[in-house]
Structure 1
Amino acid sequence: MKAPGKKSDSRVWLVWSLVLTAIFCLQGRLQAQDAQYGIEERIPWTTSKVQGSPDPALPYETERAFPQLKFNQPLVVATAPGMKRFFVAERKGKIFSFDYQDQGTSETELFLDLKQHVPELNEIYGMAFHPRFEENGYVYICYVLKPGLPEGTRVSRFKVQDANRLHCNPESEETLIEWLSGGHNGGCLRFGPDGYLYISTGDGGPASPPDIHNAGQDVSNLLSCVLRIDVDQRSQDLPYAIPVDNPFVKLPNVRPEIWAFGFRNPWKMCFDPKSGDLWVGDVGWELWELVYRVEKGGNYGWSIKEGRQPVKPGNQLGPTPILPPTIAHSHREARSITGGYFYGGTRLPDLKDTYIYGDYSTGKLWGLRYENQRVNWHQELANSTLKVTAFAIDDAGEVYIVDIEGGAFHRLAPIKESDHNPDFPTRLSQTGLFESTEKHQVAAGVIPYEINAPAWADYATAERFIALPPDTTIEVVQKRFWNFPKDTVLVKTISLETERGNPQTALRLETQLLHFNGARWQGYSYRWNEDQTDATLVPTEGDSIKLEITDAGHPDGKLNYEWRVSSRAECAVCHTPYQNYLSVLSFEEAQLNRERKFGDIVDNQLRALAHIKVLPESVWNESKGTKAHYLVDPHNTAAALNLRARSYLHANCRHCHRNNGGGGSTIELDASFDLEAMKAVGVTPTQGKFEILGAEVIAPGDPFRSVLLYRMSKLGKGRMPYSGSSIVDVEGTRLIQEWIERLPTRPHELQFEIARQRNRQVNLLEDAIQIEDQDFSGQKLQEVLGTTSGGLMLLNALDRQPMSEDTQKQIVRLATQGENPLVRDLFERFLPEDQRVKRLGQNIDHRALLSLPGDSREGKRLFMEMAGLQCRNCHRVHQHGKELGPDLTQIGKKLSRQELLENIIEPSKKIDEKYFTCVVELRSGKVVSGLLVRRDDAGVVLKDAKNELLEIPVQDVETVVMQKKSLMPDQLLRDLTAEQAAHLLAYLESLK
C-alpha cells in the first residue's frame, strides 16, 4: 500500500497509528498469553518407553505377497483346474488373473470386464471354475445388481474363449439362478467334492433392523441358505437339476435347492480337503460372529437366534432344529467374520490341516482344527491391520489373505520382529509421561486438554493429556477425520470420590494410555496403588477395584462399588484400530472447541492447540464459522436443551450407535446428525419393546414410550450405557426425558389406545399421591405398575413430584416386590444392596444350578403363587391349575432333573405336536396366537396364553400357520434367583 504523502490528512495518520498500535499490542498480548500458557514452544517428547506391547507376541504376523500387484477392492479369488493362476474379481466388475508361482510377478491379464457387459452391475461376490474346466471351459460368477430387486443377485455360467482360456467370452452368459438383492447377498460359490455347486445366500436385508424379510427360517425362498445344485444336468423348468439327496426335496413348500439354512450373511465358505466337511463364516449382527461346520439340512438359527443369543424368538422355526455355532466370537474381538481355507502347504508346518479365517473389521486371524466331532485346537494367529474380505489357496495348499483396502495379497509368516517389549513400563512412573506420578504432574511436552461433554462414568471424573512426537502435527484428512502421527499418546486419569460431593476424598483409580503405533491404537491401563504414589499396568484381561462409597442419597448411606478396569480387548471395542476421529473419541473438534483457562488467561482451546501446532491452523480457522460443530456440558442449564441432550447422547452412546459401531441397532447418535438422520425418533425398536404400548426408540413428546429412556433408567439386563457404568445417571435421565417431552409429537397408529391408557394412569397416580389411605393408594399404584410405561411414570414422580415419605416408600416397596421384572429393574436402585435381587439372567450355569439343593415345598409355592412364573395358569398338577399345557402330575417320573431344567430353558426344543403354537393373521392385519382347539368352515378357535378361548370367524381369517414353538416363553428362569430355580426344580422332580 502506498504510504501517505505530505498533503495527507492528519486524521489518516491518526488512524494508521491506532491500527499499528493495536497490532503491536495484540502480538504482545498473544506472546504474553503464550508465556502464561506454558506453550510458547512445544517441548519435544518421545514415546519410546511405551512402544511395542507388554503382552507375549502371537506366533505369526502378516507379510506382503506378490508385492508388485495391487487391485481395486478385490472381493473374490478363484483358481482354475489345470492353471497355476489366481483369478481376482474386483468389486466393481473387472476380473484379472496372474501366475501365483512367481512372487515377484507384476503382470496381470484381464479375464473379463463384467461391468461393460452388464452396466447395471453393482458388485461381484463369487466365482468358481467347473471341476472339469479343462474340458468344458466353464466359469460361474455371482454378481449383484442394485438392492431390492427380486432377482437382483444372480449366478451365471460363462465360457472362456476357445482360442485363449485366459479370456472369458461375456456373450456366453447363461443365468442359472437368482434371488433378492439387498445388503446381505452371500454370493460365495464353491464346487464340493461331490461335483455339485454350493451357493451361499444372505437374508437380503440391511445391517439393521435384523432380517427385515424374516427370511432366516423361511425355506420357501432361497434367502439365508447354502444351496446345492447340479449344474451338469437340467430339469424340465430349470437350467440345473436338484440332487436327489438334497435334504428337503420331498418337503412341500420348501425350495429343494436348500442344503442348509438359517444364515445371516454367509461370507466365504470352503470344503475340508480331507473330510469333505463344509465350513462357513457367517457375519453376525449385535453380539456374535460365527463359524459353522455345516451339516446336511442344518438350521443355524438366524434370525430366531444370533448364535445362542435370542433375536426374534417369536419367529416360526424352520423344518429342522437349531444347531449351535462351531465357533462364536464376541464383538469384543470381531465384527465381520470372513471364512477361509484349510492350510495344506509346507512353508508353515505347524499350521498343517488348520482352518484359517479372519475378521474384516479388527484384522485378527485365527486357526482351528476339528476332529472327532469337536474343535480340539483354536488359537489367535495374528493381529493384523488388514481388512480381510477374502482368502485364496493355491494348488500346494498355501493360504493367502486378501485386503480390500490395500488391494493386496498377504500371507502368514512366523513373527520376525515381535512387538512384544519385555521392557514395556509396568509402572506409570516408568512411562516418561509424568514428571511426578505422586503429584500427578505430567512431563514437559505432555499437553493437558479439556472436553465439552464428558461421558457418564458412575460419578468418576477424568483429567486428559496428549503427547505428540517432535516436529509433528495432526493432519486433517476430511473435516472430521484426523490422522495422528505415529507414537501419539493420549492419557486419561480417572478419579472417584469415596464420599460423594467431597472432592478431598477423590482417589485416582486408573490411568489409561492410548498409543498409536502407526497402524492402530493400543490401549493400556495402569491401576493406582492405595498410597496414590504410582500405578501398575493391569494384565491383558483387565482388573477390578472394590471400593466402599459414602453416599447420603443411597438407601444404606454407603455402597460397595466395583470399578471395572477394561481389558485390552475391551479398549479396542470403542477405540477402533483405524486412524480416524472415532478411534480416540474425545479428541475431536466438537469436544475441544471451548473456552479454557490457561493460567490467568481464558482463550479458545482450539486456537491454543493450533498455535503450538498440535492441530493445523485450518481447524481453528474453520471452527470460528457459524456452522462449527460443537458440544456443550449436558448439565449446563444456560445452554439450549436440544444441544445439551444431543451432547449427552454423543458422549455416552454414539461410539456404539453409529455405522459399524457394534451396536445392535442402526440408530445414529452423533450430535451432528439431524433428528431424521438419527433413525431413532419415531422408530420402532429392533431390540425389544419391553412390553411398552406403542414403543419407539425415541417417542417424540412421550418419554414413557421411549425405549431409550427406559434402558437408561433401569438396572440389570438391557441397561444402557452397555459398558463403563453400573449406576443410573439420574441427572442424565432427567435431561433426556425433558428433551423427549419437548420434541414435537407425531401421530401413532395406537394413539387413541395410548392416550386412554395414559389418562387412566395419570388419574390413578394423582389419587394415590393425594390420598393418605395406604390400602386405597396401594391399589391405585399397583394398577399403574402393571405396565412398563406406568413404571416409568412412577419413577418420574418419585424424582420430580412432591409426595410424602410414606408414599415414596410404598411406591418402592410395591414396585420392587412385584413380579414384573421390567418394572422392578426401574426401582431397584432405591433398595439397599442386600435387598437387591441376584438373578440368574440368560447365561445360566446348568451344572451349578443343578448342584444346588432345593425345597420342594417352597418350589410348590412358587409354582402356584408366583405371578412371574405363571405355571399354574398353563399346567395342571393333580386338581390344581389349568390345562393349557401338559399335565405335570407325573412329570418327575418322566424327566430327570437335568431334562426338567433343559425343558424350562428351551421349551420348544422337544415339543408334542398338539402343543404347537397356532398363529392366525386376521384380515385387519392383527395377529393372534394360541393352541389350536378347532378349525372348520365356521372359523378357528384358539386357546390363548391366558387359557381363554378366542373364536375367529372364517371371514376374518387371512392365514393360519402352525409353529413348532411352545407358548411357554424361553428363559423363564432368567429373572429368578438361583435358589428359587432350585426350589422349583425340586418340586417338579417330586411329582412322581
Structure 2
Amino acid sequence: MIAADQLLRFRSWFLLLLIVTLLKLHGAHLQAQEPTGSTSGITKRIPWTTSKIKGTPDPALPYETERAFSNLKFNQPLAIATAPGQKRFFVAERKGKIFSFPFEDQSVSQADLFFDLKERVRDLNEIYGITFHPQFEKQPFVYICYVLKPGLPAGTRVSRFKVLDTNPPRCDPDSEEILIEWLSGGHNGGCLRFGPDGYLYISTGDGGPASPPDIHNAGQDVSNLLSCVLRIDVDHPGKELPYSIPSDNPFVNQPGARPEIWAFGFRNPWKMCFHPENGDLWVGDVGWELWELVFRVEKGGNYGWSIREGRQPVKPELKPGPTPILPPTVEHSHREARSITGGYFYQSPRLKALKDTYIYGDYSTGKLWGLRYADKRINWHQELANSTLKVTAFALDDAGEVYIVDIEGGAFHRLVPIKESDHNPEFPTLLSQTGLFESTETHQVAPGVIPYSINAPAWADHATAERFVALPADSSIDVVKKSIWNFPKDSVLMKTISLETERGNSESSRRLETQLLHFNGARWLGYSYRWNEDQTDAKLVSREGDNLKLEVSSEVNPKEQVSYDWHIPSRAECAVCHTPFQNHLSVLSFEAAQLNRNQKYGAVIDNQLRALVQAKVLPESVWNEAKASKTPTLVNPYNTSAALNSRARSYLHANCRHCHRSNGGGGSTIELGASFDRTEMKAVGVKPTQGTFGIADARVISPGDPFRSVLLYRMSKLGKGRMPYSGSSLVDVKATQLIGEWIERLPSSSDDSSFTVLRLRNHQRNLLADAVQIEDQDFVGQKLQEILGTTSGALLLLDALERMPMSDQMKDQIVQLGAKDKSPLISDLFERFLPEDQRVKRLGLKIDPVVLLSVPGDAREGKKLFFEMSGLQCRNCHRVHQYGKELGPDLTQIGKKLSQAELLENIIQPSKKIDEKYYTHVVETRSGKVYTGLLVKKDETGITLKDSKNELQQIPQNEIESVVVQKKSIMPEQLFRDLTAEQAAHLLAYLESLK
C-alpha cells in the first residue's frame, strides 16, 4: 500500500517530469536551460586573428568624398541656401538654428548665427527649407519652411522674414509674415526654390507616415496642397492672400483644384533644383517600399503617387488626378537606394568631367550618382561614389561647385577623384584564403570561428546549411536595444549550403556554396564562393552571381535523377534580403529568437545564447532577457510536436519577414515577423494589393478559408508570383500543408467570408465528395473540371490530393486535368506533380543570350510560329508586309535595323528601349474591370485604348476609377519563357530575314 504523502509526491514528480518533457518538445525550456556537464559549452573564446577579408573585390568607382570646410560642424543640417551677392552658405539646422559662413574660405573656423527660429516659434519642431529672394540686394528677404508638431492642419508653413543690413547678416525675428500653410505630418516636403521666372516653388509631401502609404489619399487629390510642387508669386500679394497665383499655373481654371499647384503625385519630394541654363525643374522623391525616384518635372505633371510608386502599383483603386501619370526620369531599386535626396547640376571647372552633370544621392546607402539629360532622354548615368554619408542635402556655390551635406556628421563634403579605394586587388578569391578555415577540404574552421545553429531555417529547396560567426579579437557584439545588435568592424557571418543529390542519402550530400556577410564598419557586404567538384575549396563568384547545373532526385519519383539549377546570388541580390537600410536588419538569422536553443559543444550541451555570452560574443543582458522569458523563441516549422501557431509564425518569420516588414522592400504593407500580433500583421482579413490571381473575394490571409488566401496560393504554385521569392524554386509541400492548416484554424468573423463565396466553396466540396465516390470516369472528369473553373477550387483539389483518401487513379486524373488546364493560374499549381519527362523544356526566366544565339534556327519554321502559334500571337500586334495588325511597330524591315542579338535583347527586355507612344495605359473601372492597351484618345468624354487584340476599348469618363501610365511595352516581359530554345531560334531567324 502506498501512503497518501508518498502518492502525492509521486504524482508531483510525475507532473513535473511531464511538464519538463512537454517543454522540451516545444522548445520553451531553452530559455532557462543550464549546461549538462561541469562547464559551459564555450569555456574560452579563442581569438580569431587571420581574416584576409578587407575592402571589396570589385573595381573602384571614379570618385570618393572628402571633407570640405573641415573646421566646421553643424547639428543635423537639413537645408542650405545662398543669398545673391553674399558669397555665403546659410545652413538651417533641423531644430531651429540657422548659421552662415563664407564659402570661398575653405579654412573658415567659425559660423555666424543668422537666426534662432526656435526662440521666436516655441512650438517649432523642424526647419525643412530656406531660400533667399533672387533680387536680394533690392529685396532683402529670406523664406523659411518650418514644421510645428505633426497632425496640425496648418502645421507646415512658409514664412518671409526681413534680413538686416549687418555684417555678418542677421535675420529680423519680428518681421515674420506667414505666406502659406498646409497639413503637417511625417512627409512635409518643404524644399524652397526660386525659379528662373522669379516665382517661388515649394515642395509638399503627402502629410503621412512612412507606412501605411498615403493615409490621406492626397497624392492624386488636387483639392489640397499635399503631394505637390507649388508655384506662387511672392512679389504681388493677392486680394485675400499674401501672394498671388501666376496666370499660367496649370490648374488655375480647374474646378475644385488648388491654383497654386504646378505638379502633383509626389510622396515626399526631398530637394529640388532648376537647370542653370534651360530652367528644367528636377525633383528627388523619397519612395515607399520598392523604388526611389527622380523626376524632371513638367507643368501640370502627375507623378503617380499613390496609385503607383515608380512602376509598382500601390493603390490602383484611387481616382487619378486631372492629368495622365508620367513615368519617372530615373528610378532606383531598393537594392541600392532607400531615401533619395535631390541635388544640383555641377558647373565648377574643378572637375571638368562632371560639367553639366546632375548630382544626387541617397540618405540610407550613401551612394552618389550623376546623370546628363538632353533631347528628352538621359544620355549618361553612372554611380559616382559609394560613401558612408547620410545625405540629407546638397549645397551649390556661385562657381557651380556641388557640396554633399551629411546630417549625421554635420559636415560638408565634396567629390574628388578617387585616391584610396575599398577595392582590394588581393581580396581572397578562394575560400581557403579568407582565414576562416583551417582546412576547407574537411570544412574545418579556423580557431575563433564559432559554429551556431538556428531554430527556424528558411526553405532552400531541400538544401541545408552550416553557420558560423567570427569576430575580431578582443571584440564583442554590443546590444543597443533589445532587437538592435551592433557588430564590431570586420565581423563575418558565414553559411555553407549543402544538398543531398539523392534525397535521404547523407553520403550524396555535396557543398554548393559558402556565403559570407562581412561588416566593413559601415554596412554588411555579401559574397558567395562556389565549391569545386572535388569539394576541396570554393572560388569567389563574380558580382553577377552564378548557376550550378545539378543532377538530383526527382520530387515526383525519388529514384529518378533530374536536372536542377541552383542559383548563386549576385551581390545585388544579397542586398535584397540583407538590406543596407539599417545594419541591424541586415543580419537575418543571428538574433535571440533564432539562437535561443540547445547546442552541442563536444560532450557538453548548453543553451546557445548562454554559451555565446560566456564566450563574450554577446553581452550578459541577452541571456538575462532569455531567462526572464522576455525573448520570443522560434520553433522548427517542421516539428509537428510544437504548437501549430508557433510553427506557422516561425515559418513566415524565417522565410518572408526579411521583405515583408517596414523598409524590407516587399511591395505589400504586411508584417510577417513572429513578434507581430494578428492585427499588427496587416495581413489577416486584409485585401491584397499586389493581385488576386483570380481568387474571388481574396484576402492576403483569409481566416478560416485557406483557399481564399493569396499567401497560400503564392506558396503553392510554380512560376510568376511564387513565394518565397528569394532562395528557392521548388514548392515547400510540408509548409503549404502547415500554413493551410494554420489559416483554416484561425478564428473568423461573419465579415470574413461573403455568402456567395461560402456557397461556392460548399458546392465545390460536394462536387469533390461525389467525384471520389463515383466510378464513372467521364462523370468524375466533368465534376473535376467544374471545380477547376476557379483558382480557389484548384487550391481545394490541391489540398485534397495531400489530405483526402482517394485512389491513385483519381489522383492521376486530378493532376492531369490541373496540369493541362489552359489557365496558368490553375496549371501552375499542378505542374510539380508531373514527371520531368512530361514537362516542356522551356527557356524559363534565366535566358543566356550567348547560348540561345548559338542554336540554329529555320526562318520558315519561325514564320509559322509568328503567324500561327497559339499563345505567341505576334501577328496580333505586329504587321509584316500586308499581314498582321498594327498595334506595335511594323516589322516588315526589322532585319535591316536590328541584328539577331539586338532582336533578342528587345524581346527579353521589351521595355528597355521604348517609344513614348507605346507606353501602356491601365484603366480600372468602378465595377472592377481592367483595360490595358495603348492610348488612342483621351478627352472629357473618356478614354479610348487599343488593346492587345488590336481592338478599340472605349471607357466613359464616369466609369473610370483609375488610370495608370506605365513606361512599359505592351509586349509581354517574358515572351520567350515558355518557348523551347529551338522555337525561339526559329522565331529569331524569321525576324532577322525581314529585310
Look up the match of 2:19. Answer: none
What SS does structure 1 have at the residue aligned with 2:67? strand
Q: 2:526 aligns with which of 498, 507, 523?
A: 523
The 1:851/1:398 distance shift into structure 2, 3 A limit, reads farther
Q: Could you tell me how far 1:68 is from its partner in structure 2?
A: 4.1
The TM-score, its normalising length taken from structure 2, stands at 0.82
Give the whole-Å Cα distance in 1 for the aligned partners of 2:963 and 2:485.
53
Is 1:378 paired with 2:361? no
Where does structure 2 lack aligned partners over 5 or more consecutive residues?
1-33, 895-905, 933-941, 948-955, 990-995
Q: What's the CA shift for 1:321?
A: 4.2
Q: Which moved more, 1:174-183 or 1:416-425?
A: 174-183
- The partner residue of 2:710 within 707, 712, 724 is 707
Determine whether 1:470 maps to 2:473.
yes
SS in 2 for 1:491: strand
1:807 to 795, 802, 810: 810
Q: Are 1:49 and 1:431, in contact at CA under 8 Å, matched by a contact in 2?
A: yes
Q: What does the per-residue CA deviation read over 1:292-324, in whole Å, with 9 as the maximum and x for residues that have no partner?
A: 222334343444443334445565555544443
Please say if 1:779 is aligned against 2:748. Answer: no
3-state SS in 2 of match to 1:134: coil
Q: Is the 8 A contact 2:343 2:394 kept in 1?
A: yes
Counterpart Cα distance in 2 of 1:667 and 1:895? 38
Deviations 1:438-489 (A, max 9, x none): 1111111211111111111111111111122222222222222222222222
Q: Paired residue for 2:756?
A: 753
Distance in 2 (CA, whole Å) between partners of 1:300 and 1:29 is 60
Q: 1:890 to 1:552 in 2, by over 3 A?
A: closer
Offset at 1:533?
Answer: 0.7
Counterpart Cα distance in 2 of 1:391 and 1:43: 47
Q: Deviations over 1:392-446 (max 9, x none)?
A: 1222222222222333332223333222222211111111211111111111121
Q: Equivalent residue of 2:138, what SS?
A: helix
Q: Which residue of 2 aligns with 1:4?
A: none
Q: Aligned pair in 2 of structure 1 residues 89, 196: CA closer, same or farther (>3 Å)?
A: same
| Residues 683-694 of structure 1 mapped to structure 2, 5 A cutoff | 683-694=686-697
One-letter identity of the residue aligned with 1:892: K
Residues 1:438 and 2:441 are matched in the alignment: yes
The answer to whether 1:835 aligns with 2:835 is no
Rounded to whole Å, the distance in 1 between the matches of 2:587 and 2:295 is 34
Q: Alignment partner for residue 892 of structure 1, among 885, 890, 895?
A: 885
> Which position in structure 2 is the counterpart of 1:497?
500
TM-align CA RMSD: 4.5
The match for 2:77 among 57, 65, 74 is: 74
SS at match of 2:771: helix
> Which letter does structure 1 place at the counterpart of 2:839?
Q
Aligned-pair distance for 1:346? 3.9
| Corresponding residue SS for 2:52 | helix
Pick aligned residue for 1:369 from 359, 366, 372: 372
**Matching residue within 245, 248, 254 for 2:248:** 245
Confirm whether residue 825 of structure 1 aligns to residue 818 of structure 2.
no
Deviation of residue 168 (structure 1)?
3.1
Match of 1:612 in 2: 615
Deviations 1:891-935 (A, max 9, x none): 837975469999xx9999979xxx997956xxxxx778999xxxx
CA distance in 2, matches of 1:827, 1:218: 45
Tell me, in whole angstroms, the C-alpha distance in 2 between the residues paired with 1:841 and 1:545: 15
Cα deviation for residue 171 of structure 1 reads: 4.2
Q: 1:567 to 1:970 in 2, by over 3 A?
A: closer
Q: Secondary structure at the match of 2:513?
A: strand
Distance (whole Å) between structure 1 residues aligned to residue 662 and residue 988 of structure 2: 45
In the other structure, the counterpart of 1:189 is: 192
1:474-873 alignment to 2 at 5 Å?
A: 474-553=477-556, 557-577=560-580, 580-748=583-751, 751-832=754-835, 835=839
Q: Match of 1:671, as an amino acid?
A: A
When residues 186 and 984 of structure 1 are mapped into structure 2, their CA distance, relative to the original with a 3 A threshold, is: farther
Cα distance, 1:600–1:127 mapped onto 2, change above 3 Å = same
- Is residue 453 of structure 1 aligned with residue 456 of structure 2? yes
One-letter code of the match for 2:654?
Answer: A
Provide the rounded CA distance (Å) in 2 between the counterparts of 1:145 and 1:47. 53
User: Offset of 1:750 from its aligned partner?
Assistant: 5.0
Contact 2:304/2:325 (8 A) holds in 1: yes
For 1:28-39, what aligned pairs fall within 5 Å after superposition? 33=39, 39=42
Instruction: Determine the structure 1 residue equivalent to 2:232.
Output: 229
- Matches of 2:236 and 2:187 in 1, distance apart? 29
Q: Is the 8 A contact 1:66 1:409 kept in 2?
A: yes
Deviation (angstroms), 1:48 = 4.2
Q: Spell out, residue by residue over 1:555-576, the C-alpha distance to the aligned partner (whole angstroms, 9 max, x if none).
A: 9934322222122222223223
Distance 1:550 1:48, change over 3 A: closer
Q: Deviations over 1:98-135 (max 9, x none)?
A: 33344444533443444454455443322221112232
Q: Which amino acid aligns with 2:766?
A: N
Distance 1:558 1:123, change over 3 A: farther
- Report % sequence identity: 68
Deviation, structure 1 residue 46: 1.7
| Among candidates 275, 280, 302, match of residue 278 of structure 2 | 275
For 1:156, the equivalent position in structure 2 comes to 159
Write the letter of the residue equivalent to 1:828. Answer: E
Structure 1 residue 174 displacement after superposition: 3.1
Moved more, 506-515 or 70-79: 70-79
Distance change >3 Å, CA 200–CA 701, structure 1 → 2:
same
CA change 1:715–1:115 in 2 (3 A) is: farther
**Pair 555,295 (structure 1): closer, same or farther in 2 beyond 3 Å:** farther
Aligned to 2:429: 426
Distance 1:818 1:60, change over 3 A: same
Contact 1:447 1:466 in 2 (8 A): yes
Pick the aligned partner of 1:126 from 124, 129, 133: 129
| Residues 713 and 826 in structure 1, CA contact (< 8 A), matched pair in contact too | yes
Match among 331, 335, 338 for residue 332 of structure 1? 335
Is this contact kept in 1: 2:787–2:793, CA < 8 A?
Answer: yes
Q: Structure 1 residue 357: deviation in Å?
A: 1.0
Deviations 1:513-565 (A, max 9, x none): 22222222222211110111111111122212121212253599343222221
Q: Distance in 1 between matches of 2:120 and 2:478?
A: 42
Alpha-carbon distance, 1:963 to partner: 6.7
Aligned to 2:953: none
AA in 1 matched with 2:688: P
The count of residues paired between Structure 1 and Structure 2 equals: 916
Alpha-carbon separation, structure 2, partners of 1:894 and 1:441: 62
Instruction: State the distance in 2 between where 1:431 and 1:98 align.
Output: 48
Verify the 8 A CA contact 2:37 2:604 in the aligned structure 1: no
After TM superposition, list the pairs within 5 Å mapping 1:201-220 onto structure 2: 201-220=204-223
SS in structure 1 at match of 2:143:
strand
The SS at the match of 1:133 is: coil
Give the AA of the match of 1:626. S
Q: Tell me, what secondary structure is at the counterpart of 1:694?
A: coil
Q: Where does structure 1 lack aligned partners over 5 or more consecutive residues?
A: 1-27, 876-888, 921-925, 932-939, 946-956, 987-992
Alpha-carbon displacement from aligned partner over 1:116-168 (angstroms, at most 9, x marks no partner): 54455443322221112232222222234455555444333333346687443
What's the TM-score, normalizing by structure 1?
0.82
CA contact (8 A) 1:840 1:976 kept: no
Q: How far apart, in 2, do the equivalents of 1:526 and 1:976 lie?
A: 33
Measured in 2, the distance between the counterparts of 1:117 and 1:364 equals 37
* Equivalent residue number for residue 6 of structure 1: none
Distance 1:917 1:395 in 2: 47
Q: Distance in 2 between matches of 1:635 and 1:200?
A: 52
Q: In the superposition, relative to structure 1, how do residues 851 and 232 fare at CA in structure 2: closer, same or farther (>3 Å)?
A: farther
Q: State the partner residue of 1:54.
A: 57
Query: Match of 1:450, as an amino acid?
Result: S
Amino acid at match of 2:827: R
Question: Quick one: distance in 2 between partners of 1:151 and 1:345?
Answer: 40
